[in-house]
């Protein structure tokens, strides 16, 4: 079972990068199943029904989210869509699905989304305990978990905690691709952050000059997206049966190329 996981698609340039490179990557790696983190895809704040439909038609199977899952006015409608899962460790009564089940050629794939607590601001439940709760309820041939978290230490800890109990733990949220793709001792595939799809020369997708100004002055500003930049496309391809995980990092800017 080959799974393509595409990292946080960030705003308009993220959509441009997806449109430019998705079919090429899909053709080259021939995945059976495709997951997209749609946390920032529509104006930086969650997923829209329009993009959901367009991407499903292009071959995406499931969308995961993150801390902006509820930012849009139509969030409740989006969270009701069949193949969208929001972070499961919000409290009881939260709209949306804690996991998504998908049948592929007689095999059941479960995709789970969890939110980290370190350096995050939402009053969420413990992701370790929530993972235990979900795993006690589901039966599946393959389980992939998107851990939307800031701290690498928390991502490593959860991955080791779940080693051998899920097929893959893939980190999202920081928008910076890491080079630590590995197979953990009990067989779980892990990457602490798959990275961002969007503006390459930016500050995690935001306007460079604005970010510098914020760090120099200390004065808070609402992030503006970088609008003029070469593109980047970050993803990973996993074979859950052969236990392999490979990074896909496409950078358009000078002195950068494709790495794996």
Q: At which residue do the structure tokens 């998705």 appear? A: 22
Whether 175 has a binding-site annotation, put simply, is yes
**Given 32, 68, 121, 160, the catalytic residue:** 68
Check whether 8 is labelled as a binding-site residue: yes
| Assigned token pair, 141 | 């041939």
Instruction: Extract the tokens encoding 248.
Output: 């896909």
Name every residue whose Cβ is closer than 8 Å to that of residue 90 and which is 6 or more positions away in sequence: 115, 122, 124, 125
What span, in angstroms and rounded, lies between the C-alpha atoms of 66 and 173?
8
The alpha carbon dihedral of 21, 22, 25, 28 has a sign of negative
Q: Is 12 annotated as a binding residue?
A: no
Q: How far apart are the C-alpha atoms of 132 and 56, rounded to whole Å? A: 30
Hey, which residues does 246 pair with through a beta bridge?
Answer: 237
Helix (H) or strand (E) holding 115: strand 107-115
Euclidean distance between CA atoms 32 and 240, whole angstroms: 11
Closest CA to 157 of 167, 171, 139: 171
Ligand-binding site membership of 61 (annotated):
no
Instruction: Tell me if 121 is assigned to a ligand binding site.
Output: no
Residue 160 labelled as part of a binding site:
no
Asked about 68 being catalytic, the answer comes back as yes
Does 173 belong to an annotated binding site?
Answer: yes
As a residue count, the chain comes to 260
Query: Which positions make up the binding site for Fe cation?
Result: 8, 39-40, 67, 148, 173, 175
Query: Which positions make up the binding site?
Result: 8, 39-40, 67, 148, 173, 175
Catalytic residue positions, numbered: 68
């Amino acid at each position: 079972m080959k799974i393509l996981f595409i990292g946080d698609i960030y705003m308009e340039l993220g959509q441009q990068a997806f449109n430019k490179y998705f079919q090429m990557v899909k053709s080259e790696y021939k995945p059976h199943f495709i997951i997209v983190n749609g946390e920032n895809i529509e104006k930086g704040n969650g997923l829209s029904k329009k993009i959901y439909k367009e991407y499903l038609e292009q071959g995406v199977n499931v969308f995961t989210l993150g801390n902006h899952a509820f930012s849009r006015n139509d969030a409740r409608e989006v969270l009701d869509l069949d193949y969208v899962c929001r972070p499961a460790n919000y409290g009881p009564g939260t709209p949306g699905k804690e996991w998504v089940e998908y049948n592929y050629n007689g095999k059941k794939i479960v995709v789970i989304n969890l939110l980290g607590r370190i350096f995050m601001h939402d009053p969420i439940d413990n992701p370790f305990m929530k993972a235990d709760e979900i795993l006690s309820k589901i039966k599946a041939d393959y389980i992939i978990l998107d851990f939307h978290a800031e701290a690498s230490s928390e991502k490593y800890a959860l991955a080791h905690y779940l080693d051998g109990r899920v097929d893959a733990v893939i980190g999202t949220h920081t928008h910076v691709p890491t080079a630590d793709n590995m197979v953990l001792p009990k067989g779980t595939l892990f990457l602490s952050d798959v990275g961002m799809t969007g503006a390459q020369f930016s500050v995690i997708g935001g306007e460079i000059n604005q970010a510098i100004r914020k760090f120099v002055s200390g004065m808070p500003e609402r992030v503006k997206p970088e609008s003029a930049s070469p593109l980047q496309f970050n993803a990973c391809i996993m074979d859950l049966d052969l236990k392999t995980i490979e990074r896909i990092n496409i950078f358009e800017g000078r002195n950068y190329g494709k790495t794996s």
